[in-house]
């Protein structure tokens, strides 16, 4: 007789390849398993309710999505880009550096790689390709690559998802992502400079230093959002969930009242698109909670931990293997699916190896974000290809140097835990 677990896995893979969302595919596979095992299918609903009962931190996800969408429809993105141009546009490959710096700043507001690529990406790609300064494929490639910073520098939607499956502090995870995010920005800026010199990309028109204070003041309300957000979390004034609500309210307030750049129609469309995005993530979470029950019933995590223990890999060898595994899965799976399906299976082995769960969380999230720019799935590749109307192959050719730079950063993040954990420890983390 066919094994119910293998059959449920096969159904999930088949439905996902056929175009059904991964969340719904996991639900279908889970129901098939329950029926074949003779369990009451209502167990799936029970597991779902229990999984969400204490998951109030998940409320941060739709609120961060809303905050990012509001910033994209207002003039915040334009003001931030002008500030970045004044800051780094004068260097070789200037608009490439603007792309990197703007992603760093925007990542402190949105927590989403897709929001960064769709919002700031559209504007910066237009600037880079104007008058043929940069090739459209290169503009698309660096925009996709820098967007991966969004979920690493806090706030971060993937970090919230990891906190759900690992029972770790969202605040400490946010803190742990700051240094790795800045490292990713640094290696991409260096790579952009090397490519710009090799291919003769121009510097941007230098903004007079006398103009910098005025440009900074115009962008100042937007620049204050990360300060308010993270300051509120680490001072203990607000929880990460409450901080997400503050971010959305602040973005709406300065866009409507201060900048007067958001119409009611645009706001309504933002609410609608935000609800759709949050809904798709909700379906993924629901499917993963249901499928995690199946995985638990089959004792997959303990079996994996025992198997890995028998291989005598040690913590370093284990992390190398995990990096390879998640990078390969990222080529065909969406990052959220990896964090909600694959990572929970690995956590018992991580604990058995004595690896810090906050450190491991950052490794897992960075790996998952790299999957957004690796073919053939690479969601950010498709987004930037759609913006620039460039063939996917041309973008892939230009993005490989940035993937190599990010792999170098991933190596530092993986093998130097103190680099990731020093800031959380300053804030009181005992790990």
DSSP 321-385: HHHHHHHHHHTTS-HHHIIIIIHHHHHHHHHHHT--HHHHHHHHHHHHHHGGGSTTT-HHHHHHH
Residue 14 in any domain: the answer is no
The predicted model gives 63-92 an average pLDDT of 74
Residue 33 in any domain: the answer is no
The pLDDT assigned to 52 comes to 61
The pLDDT assigned to 141 comes to 92
The pLDDT assigned to 339 comes to 86
Residue 86 in any domain: the answer is yes
Domain that holds residue 246: 40-426
Task: Read off the tokens for 99.
Answer: 């792309």
The pLDDT assigned to 37 comes to 84
- Tokens 């790579």 appear where? 191
The pLDDT assigned to 55 comes to 61
The pLDDT assigned to 244 comes to 78
Among 101-115, 137-151, 276-290, the range of highest mean pLDDT: 137-151
pLDDT cut 90: percent of the chain above it: 20
- How far is C-alpha 312 from the chain's CA centre? 32
User: Residues 178, 425: contact at Cβ < 8 Å?
Assistant: no
User: Residues 157, 246: contact at Cβ < 8 Å?
Assistant: no
The predicted model gives 21-30 an average pLDDT of 83
Residue 29 in any domain: the answer is no
The pLDDT assigned to 51 comes to 60
- Tokens 């969340």 appear where? 23
* Rounded distance between C-alpha atoms, residue 422 and residue 355, angstroms: 15
Residue 294 in any domain: the answer is yes
Per DSSP, helices labelled H in 60-203 are 60-73, 76-88, 94-110, 113-129, 136-147, 157-166, 170-199
Task: Read off the tokens for 211.
Answer: 């103009």
User: Residues 100, 233: contact at Cβ < 8 Å?
Assistant: no
Residue 188 in any domain: the answer is yes
User: Residues 401, 408: contact at Cβ < 8 Å?
Assistant: no
Among 15-19, 119-123, 180-184, 334-338, the range of highest mean pLDDT: 180-184
Task: Read off the tokens for 338.
Answer: 């990896």
Residue 1 in any domain: the answer is no
pLDDT at 194 over 70: yes
pLDDT at 284 over 60: yes
User: Residues 349, 410: contact at Cβ < 8 Å?
Assistant: no
pLDDT, averaged across the chain: 82
pLDDT at 75 over 70: no
Q: Which of 92, 120, 175 is nearest to 358 (CA)?
A: 175
The pLDDT assigned to 47 comes to 63
3-state helix, strand, coil in the chain (%, to 5): 80, 0, 20
pLDDT at 53 over 60: no
The pLDDT assigned to 21 comes to 78
Task: Read off the tokens for 117.
Answer: 């690529």
Q: Which of 282, 277, 248 is nearest to 73 (CA)?
A: 248
Task: Read off the tokens for 411.
Answer: 């190596």
Overall domain count for the chain: 1
The predicted model gives 138-151 an average pLDDT of 90
The pLDDT assigned to 49 comes to 65
Residue 344 in any domain: the answer is yes
* Rounded distance between C-alpha atoms, residue 154 and residue 170, angstroms: 10
The pLDDT assigned to 326 comes to 87
* Rounded distance between C-alpha atoms, residue 415 and residue 263, angstroms: 49
The pLDDT assigned to 356 comes to 95
DSSP letter, residue 156: -
The predicted model gives 202-228 an average pLDDT of 78
* Rounded distance between C-alpha atoms, residue 260 and residue 253, angstroms: 9
């Amino acid at each position: 007789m066919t094994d119910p677990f293998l059959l449920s896995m096969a159904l999930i893979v088949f439905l996902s390849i056929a175009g059904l969302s991964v969340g719904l595919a996991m639900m279908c596979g889970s129901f098939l398993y329950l029926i074949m095992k003779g369990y009451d299918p209502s167990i799936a609903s029970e597991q779902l309710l229990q999984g969400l009962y204490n998951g109030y931190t998940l409320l941060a996800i739709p609120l961060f999505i809303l905050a990012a969408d509001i910033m994209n429809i207002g003039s915040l993105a334009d003001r931030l880009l002008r500030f970045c141009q004044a800051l780094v546009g004068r260097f070789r490959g200037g608009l490439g550096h603007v792309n990197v710096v703007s992603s760093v700043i925007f990542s402190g507001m949105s927590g989403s790689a897709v929001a960064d690529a769709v919002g700031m990406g559209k504007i910066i790609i237009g600037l880079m390709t104007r008058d043929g300064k940069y090739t459209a494929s290169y503009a698309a490639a660096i925009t996709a690559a820098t967007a991966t910073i969004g979920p690493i520098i806090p706030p971060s939607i993937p970090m919230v998802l990891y906190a759900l499956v690992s029972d770790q502090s969202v605040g400490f995870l946010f803190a742990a992502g700051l240094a790795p995010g800045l490292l990713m920005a640094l290696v991409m800026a260096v790579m952009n400079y090397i490519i710009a010199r090799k291919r003769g990309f121009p510097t941007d028109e230098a903004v007079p230093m006398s103009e910098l204070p005025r440009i900074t003041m115009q962008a100042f309300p937007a620049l204050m959002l990360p300060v308010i957000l993270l300051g509120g979390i680490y001072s203990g004034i607000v929880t990460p969930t409450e901080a997400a609500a503050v971010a959305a309210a602040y973005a709406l307030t300065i866009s409507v009242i201060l900048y007067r750049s958001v119409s009611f129609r645009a706001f309504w469309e933002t609410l609608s698109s935000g609800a759709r995005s949050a809904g798709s993530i909700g379906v993924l979470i629901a499917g993963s909670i249901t499928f995690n029950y199946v995985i638990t019933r089959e004792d997959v995590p303990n079996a994996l931990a025992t198997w890995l223990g028998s291989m005598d890999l040690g913590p370093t060898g284990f992390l190398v293997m995990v990096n390879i595994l998640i990078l390969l899965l990222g080529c065909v799976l969406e990052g959220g699916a990896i964090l909600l399906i694959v990572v929970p299976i690995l956590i018992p082995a991580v604990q058995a190896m004595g690896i810090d769960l906050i450190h491991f969380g950052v490794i897992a999230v960075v790996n998952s974000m790299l999957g957004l720019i690796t073919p053939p799935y690479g969601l950010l590749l498709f987004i930037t290809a759609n913006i620039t109307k460039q063939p996917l192959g041309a973008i892939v050719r230009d993005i490989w140097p940035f993937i190599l730079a990010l792999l170098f950063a991933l190596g530092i993040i993986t093998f130097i835990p103190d680099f990731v954990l020093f800031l959380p420890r300053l804030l009181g983390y005992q790990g």
